Amino acid sequence: MNMKKSLLIAVGFVLILSTVLAGCGGKSAGGQGKTLIYGRGADSPQLDPALVTDGESFRVTENVMETLVEYKKKSMEVKPGLAKDWEQSDDGKTWTFHLREGIQFHDGTPFNAEAVVFNFERWMNQEMKPSKKDDFTYYASMFGGFKGDEGHIIESVKAVDEYTVQFQLKESQGPFLQNLAMSPFAIASPKAVKADPAEFAQHPVGTGPFKFKSWKKGDSITIVKNEDYWQEGLPKLDRVIFESIPDNSARFTALQSGDIDVMDGLNPDDAKRVEKNENLQLLKRPPNNVGYLAFNTEKEPFDNKKVRQAINHAVNKKGLIKSFYAGLAEPAKNPIPPSMWGYNEKVEPYEYDLDKAKQLLKEAGYEDGFKATFYAMPEPRPYMPDGKKIAEYIQADLKKIGIEVEIVSPEWQTYLEDTEQGKHEMALLGWTGDNGDPDNFLYVLLDQDNARVPAQNIAFYKNEQLHDILIKAQRETEQSKRAELYKKAQHIIHEDAPWVPLVYSTPSLAAQSYVKGYQPHPKGSDSLAEVDIEK
């Protein structure tokens, strides 16, 4: 073969290879079409959204499964989802949803009213759980327990006809519609769940824009385009890989080198570097969270209110924010963020005052301090970029008033299980709002109903007066009246101090400049259906 002919063949091969790679993002070479590689801090514990409470699981299931109603792109306002419209009775107790027709689950079975009934019956009756330790925690939190429990709000769910579902409530519930849009209440394929609940928790089957493809535990989860998706023209991507890279800095390095296309858990100090890099873009999630230090109020000495108040006075929140948040956070004083309706501006924060803290410890009988264990998150979270370092900062603050804490930091799944079981004495955690309603913070995280194991109220805090107010607020449908009740609730919580509310943060993500249409949502998990790659 002569040299000229060889050169022409080589050039042709390069052109063909360039064409193949042109549509690929990140390290997605290999003819896979448009692939988005999403770098995140931790793996998902499970992929049945009804069984989990963590953002890493919802980040995936949000794109595989769908809810009856959903939130708008940039807000917590509800819009149609799998239900095209709905109506509510005058007394607020009957809700009727009219479903979209012609939609199929990824396994080819039809989405219909019976499928919706199956899912809600499964949750309320606690049926078909993968194991004894699993629970439909969110269902109990949002709907007052399970069927047979005194506070359970749903009387019945029935299929009126093939595409009409009716919910009958025992009492009106102010946040009912908002609750239905939450990720845990995504509708699963009855066939897939019945076949094997444990397998379903590893291989979800829904109606969403992407289908589950594979899971390499501790490494990556891959989802692929649903070619039969009911919304025409979506999704725009062919494949998404959620890649676990625990260290924030290592994840940022992977982004800079082009190994990943999007990352969350960006160190606040790196945000300015992203803004200066023309090849990258900074994406800010609307603030809708709180990071907190919870006391296990069932254990000494944290069953003593003055001890809890003392620690509130001992933590230097402004210094903590300056050290770890680079201006992308503000000190917290209430369990709900300032952006939430019903936020109580009149609550006076616990000022940083070591003398006051020491005096309160003396009054509580702990003048010489005490020792305790302190759980610190091993993975970055939107409300807390580095749990271990923040714990060390607080550890130094507490030492100034004679409290010595030992920091423990088990892996993420164990961390969640331990705190839900109440094995901790003190623990860092946080919450990103799910539904735009104060109930989702105050009732879920601090009501006595949710102090049962597995607890979302990891302070195991119980106050009958608070409980009565929160239940009354749930039953009320007029927002102005609900707001006043929630303001009273915040006063009670502030006085009892089951937490140290630490920060309200503005989480930042970073992406390659060629990633288009990525819209971070206030709830913390994002639909990728309209995201595209344009190189």
pLDDT at 156: 98
pLDDT at 5: 38
| CA torsion through residues 30, 33, 34, 38, sign | negative
The arithmetic mean of pLDDT across residues 300-311, rounded, is 98
- Rounded CA separation 456/437 (Å): 17
Q: Which of 198, 267, 204, 252 is nearest to 57 (CA)?
A: 204
- Rounded CA separation 257/239 (Å): 20
pLDDT at 19: 37
Under the banding of pLDDT at 50, 70 and 90, the label for residue 535 is confident
Q: Identify the weakest region by mean pLDDT among 15-24, 235-244, 360-369.
A: 15-24
Residue reference for tokens 């301090």: 369
pLDDT at 31: 52
**pLDDT value at 29 more than 80:** no
If DSSP codes are grouped into helix, strand and coil, which group holds residue 400? coil
- Rounded CA separation 42/53 (Å): 14
Render 423-473 in DSSP notation, one character per residue.
--SEEEEEEE-SSS-THHHHHHHHSGGGGSSSPS-TT----HHHHHHHHHH
Range 65-200 has CATH code 3.40.190.10: yes
Q: Which of 395, 393, 358, 357 is nearest to 373 (CA)?
A: 395
pLDDT at 17: 37
Asked if 531 contacts 518 with a C-beta cutoff of 8 angstroms, the reply is yes
Q: How far is CA 485 from each of CA 52, 354, 439, 461, rounded to the nearest angstrom?
A: 29, 33, 11, 19
**pLDDT value at 16 more than 70:** no
Largest interatomic CA distance in the chain: 95
Under the banding of pLDDT at 50, 70 and 90, the label for residue 263 is very high
Under the banding of pLDDT at 50, 70 and 90, the label for residue 6 is very low
The arithmetic mean of pLDDT across residues 240-245, rounded, is 98
Phi, psi of 184 (to 5 degrees): -65, -20
pLDDT at 133: 87
Query: What percent of the chain stands above pLDDT 70?
Result: 94
- Rounded CA separation 301/310 (Å): 12
| pLDDT tens per residue across span 173-190 | 999 999 999 999 999 999
pLDDT at 512: 98
Half-sphere exposure of 71 (CA within 13 A, CB side): 25
pLDDT at 18: 38
**pLDDT value at 325 more than 60:** yes
Burial class (CB in 10 A: 0-12, 13-18, 19+), 422: buried
Q: What is the pTM of this model?
A: 0.82
DSSP one-letter code for 205: -
Q: Which of 66, 38, 29 is nearest to 234 (CA)?
A: 66
Domain with CATH 3.10.105.10 in the chain: 289-505
Domain with CATH 3.40.190.10 in the chain: 65-200, 210-286+509-533
**pLDDT value at 144 more than 60:** yes
The arithmetic mean of pLDDT across residues 381-408, rounded, is 96
Residue reference for tokens 């809890």: 308
Render 62-119 in DSSP notation, one character per residue.
TTT---SEEE-TTSS-EEESSEEEEEE-TTS-EEEEEEPSS-B-TTSPBP-HHHHHHH
| pLDDT tens per residue across span 449-492 | 999 998 999 999 999 999 999 999 999 989 999 999 999 999 99
DSSP helix, strand, coil percent of the chain (3-state; round to 5): 35, 20, 45
Choices 3.10.105.10, 3.40.50.1220, 3.90.1150.10, 3.40.367.20: CATH for 289-505: 3.10.105.10
- Strand 69-71 relative to strand 78-80, pairing: antiparallel
The arithmetic mean of pLDDT across residues 53-68, rounded, is 96
pLDDT at 23: 40
Query: What percent of the chain stands above pLDDT 90?
Result: 89
pLDDT at 9: 40
Q: How far is CA 97 from each of CA 37, 140, 171, 415, rounded to the nearest angstrom?
A: 36, 22, 18, 39
Q: Which of 411, 383, 329 is nearest to 524 (CA)?
A: 383
pLDDT at 25: 55
Top-tier CATH class for 210-286+509-533 = alpha beta
pLDDT at 208: 98
pLDDT at 327: 85
E strands present in 460-525: 499-505, 508-512, 515-516
**pLDDT value at 65 more than 70:** yes
**pLDDT value at 26 more than 80:** no
| pLDDT tens per residue across span 155-171 | 999 999 999 999 999 99
**Mean pLDDT for all residues in the chain:** 93
pLDDT at 1: 45
